[in-house]
Structure 1
Amino acid sequence: MRITARLRSESRIPLLQAVKTSVAVALGWILSQALLQTELPIFAAIAALLVVQPNINQTLGRAVERSLGVIGGVLIAYAVGIAFGESSWIVLAAIIFCIMLAWALRLAPSSASQIPISAMLVLSLGASTPEYARDRIIETIIGAAAALVVNALIVPPVLLSPAHDAVVRLGREVADTLDRIVDALRFPQQAGQIEEMMIKARLLRPMLEKAEKAIKQAEESLTLNPRHGVHRRLLDVDEEFYNRLTALVTRTIGMTRALRDHYDHSLHLEPTVLAITVELSRAAHDLRLLAEHVDHPGQTPVNPVVEPPALTEPLVIFTPHPQHWILIGSLMEDLRRVREEIKGE
């Protein structure tokens, strides 16, 4: 079972990706045969096979790396073949030389592996003429170009939904965290409840990282994508909301930590604390409203419970108990910044 688990992944690559790769290999093979009159255009097939990536931006980068790696490997193999011949030891020495050269030049992994592979194939096939080296380079470029064209024509995937869902989910979870702080300030809590609240607040960090990663993947999927203009505005809305949430996550976790560190069962008796809970409830309400607008841009919110934004009222600060003034001061400052982020100020 262990060997099988290492050989198989938990999920298949998308069928569209497999189809694009197959079409690119076939196209590169046919074009190379037609243009170069070669019977087995192996270099074109390998190039197309390795260059096709989930999006055009990655495909272009891989095409450049692949082509440069092949050019380097073919030139080295040609020079070695002319100078030393084509014995097995010469092939081995050329491979080792290419590996060390790639290491010395700090090449990317794909280029670093491509140079020795190309040199090995050229030397092992036993051809060291200028025409052969030239044809192998052209063959590789044909395969890479075929992969790029196919990836552009066969509907490149746009990965907006994962980014959008992650950002909206994060916004609603931040609002829920604010509500948990409100409950902890209004009603006496047990130590276990406070720790549970802190654990849930810390989970905002992984959610933030997941949203960041999803946004980067969405941006990559739009780069050089023919459908870039149609979807860019939607991604801009998600990015703007994500930028607000980055600061809100920090503030919300800080408020939760301050409450955990300075919690007292008499906090709910403080008039200023009760006023802060009202403002926190309004902040959570407005954050949910903002998330709803981001989730349905330009549309009427599907959730009829969502009301207009709550207005912030000036707080009257009463002299707190000496044990509470640090917490109250910390909550006041974080609350101010939370409101600024929600309003976009």
Structure 2
Amino acid sequence: MPAVSPPAPVVKLVKRTTEPAATQTLRSTAAAVIAFAVAEWVLPDPHPSPLTAPLTALLVVQVTLYATLTTGIRRVNAVVVGVLIASAFSSLVGLSWWSLGLTIFSALLIGRVVRVNEFVPEVAISAMLVLGVAQVANTAWERVLETLIGAGVGLLFNLLFAPPVWVESAGASIGGLGQRMGSMFRALGDEVSGNHPVGEAAARLHEARRLDHDIVEVDASLRQAEDSLTLNPRVRQGLLYRVVLRTGLDTLEICAVVLRVLTRTLTDLAKARQDESLFPEDVAACLRELFTHMSDAIEGFAELITTSIAESGEEAEDRLADALAHSRRARDRVADLLLEDVQEHPRQWQLHGALLAEVDRILDELDIDKRTERLAEELDRRSAEMHEHHRRLRALSRRLRGAAPSRIRAGD
């Protein structure tokens, strides 16, 4: 009996619950509820509903543990400073349009002084919330306590329940970028035969330019993955994962830039040859073969950098090496044919040279040996930075240990 597949809505729901947005929604809700319950239990009766605690927990809990630790302190600082500003103003003036404006102005100004960075508006928001409440003196300190409770719950929530690692979603983004670039190479291969309209060539150029936007989105996904690997107790080789993905995306970004230049070269050739074929038929056939192999190479490269070493990394590397070898042989045949064509028809010879140079640059960036060298250099650089950081910490520790006996002797 064949297995019954689940309904499409169920599949979509299951997939959606594994996405960062859905996970963050569940985590933030749980942390906010826990913070509210703790504040209700800690604060003395009678007291108003401690909504500042769940608000702070909601703000502190981020998708990654690293983001929680780095932003939590700044958020707490912003809320506490706003509460203190409101307390100071409430003891001097009441609530009016000019006192409200002065409070907001002071809060925004002091927020920049205390360096809460992107949370400067929260200083003013906290000040306004407290300023508009009766019995401000007591409410202010209760709000400070609620803020600390909410921040503590948010931090402990991510420490006890480590956020997920978003390496898989970042890998899917990089893989999607590689597939889009591979599709563009195949499309270029289909368009080099016969007369190529300038409009179609220009459309392909605009498509290559849109890769910049795709790279920005992939970079944001990768940054989230890098944050999720930092300080995460479930990850043992976080540095290696970060370096592999980051250097891989850097290579794809360079290839995207060169691909855009390549489409510009083909557009210029289409403008110069509007009344004739873009290339002779033999050259076009070899170029079609070359772009097909380059498509396989760039997709293989994306697969290689997103494939776990424990899975099929060697197979992905073999496929990439095979695609690169075929690409280089096809490139050499294209170069020979273009040389013969230039000798017979010397027009636009510089565009032929530019086309070959751009192909060479992409193949060089995808080269396995070059990638290995780049990985080694980046790992060495990161290791040197960590060693320098630990060296400074050890030196500071030695100075502190040396200063302690000195103080003891001075006290004697």
TM-score, normalized by the shorter chain, greater than 0.5: yes
Whether the 8 Å contact between 1:73 and 1:116 is mirrored in structure 2 is: yes
Whether the 8 Å contact between 2:301 and 2:320 is mirrored in structure 1 is: no
Q: Which amino acid aligns with 1:189?
A: N
Deviation per residue, 1:257-282 (Å, 9 max, x gap): 21122133345338777766655444
Q: Displacement of 1:253 after TM fit?
A: 1.6
Secondary structure of 2:245's counterpart equals helix
Whether the 8 Å contact between 1:66 and 1:110 is mirrored in structure 2 is: yes
Whether the 8 Å contact between 2:189 and 2:288 is mirrored in structure 1 is: yes
Within 5 A, what are the aligned runs for 1:1-345? 16-32=23-39, 35-40=42-47, 41-84=50-93, 87-89=94-96, 93-105=98-110, 107=112, 108=117, 110-118=119-127, 120-121=129-130, 124-128=133-137, 133-185=140-192, 187-191=193-197, 193-229=200-236, 233-263=240-270, 264=273, 265-269=276-280, 279-298=290-309, 299-300=311-312, 301=315, 308-311=322-325, 312-313=328-329, 315-316=335-336, 317-318=339-340, 319-320=342-343, 321-343=345-367, 345=370
Query: Match of 1:4?
Result: none
More helix by percentage: 2
Secondary structure of 2:164's counterpart equals coil
Q: Which amino acid aligns with 1:95?
A: L
Q: Which moved more, 1:102-111 or 1:270-279?
A: 270-279
Deviation per residue, 1:141-175 (Å, 9 max, x gap): 12111112113323413333332122112223323
Change (3 A) 1:147 1:287: same
Whether the 8 Å contact between 1:171 and 1:288 is mirrored in structure 2 is: yes
Q: Which amino acid aligns with 1:248?
A: C
Q: Displacement of 1:39 after TM fit?
A: 4.3
Q: Displacement of 1:334 after TM fit?
A: 0.9
Deviation per residue, 1:21-65 (Å, 9 max, x gap): 344334434444555535434432332233333333343354323
Q: In structure 1, how many angstroms separate the alpha carbons of the residues matched to 2:194 and 2:125? A: 69
Secondary structure of 2:322's counterpart equals coil
In structure 2, the gaps of 5 or more residues are 1-15, 371-412
Change (3 A) 1:257 1:227: same
What percentage of residue pairs aligned between the two structures are identical?
A: 22
Query: Match of 1:6?
Result: none
TM (norm. structure 1) is 0.77
Relative contact order higher in (CA < 8 Å, ≥ 6 apart):
1
Q: Which amino acid aligns with 1:98?
A: T
Deviation per residue, 1:174-212 (Å, 9 max, x gap): 233233333433x21341553454454344333223222
Secondary structure of 1:268's counterpart equals coil
Whether the 8 Å contact between 2:82 and 2:123 is mirrored in structure 1 is: yes
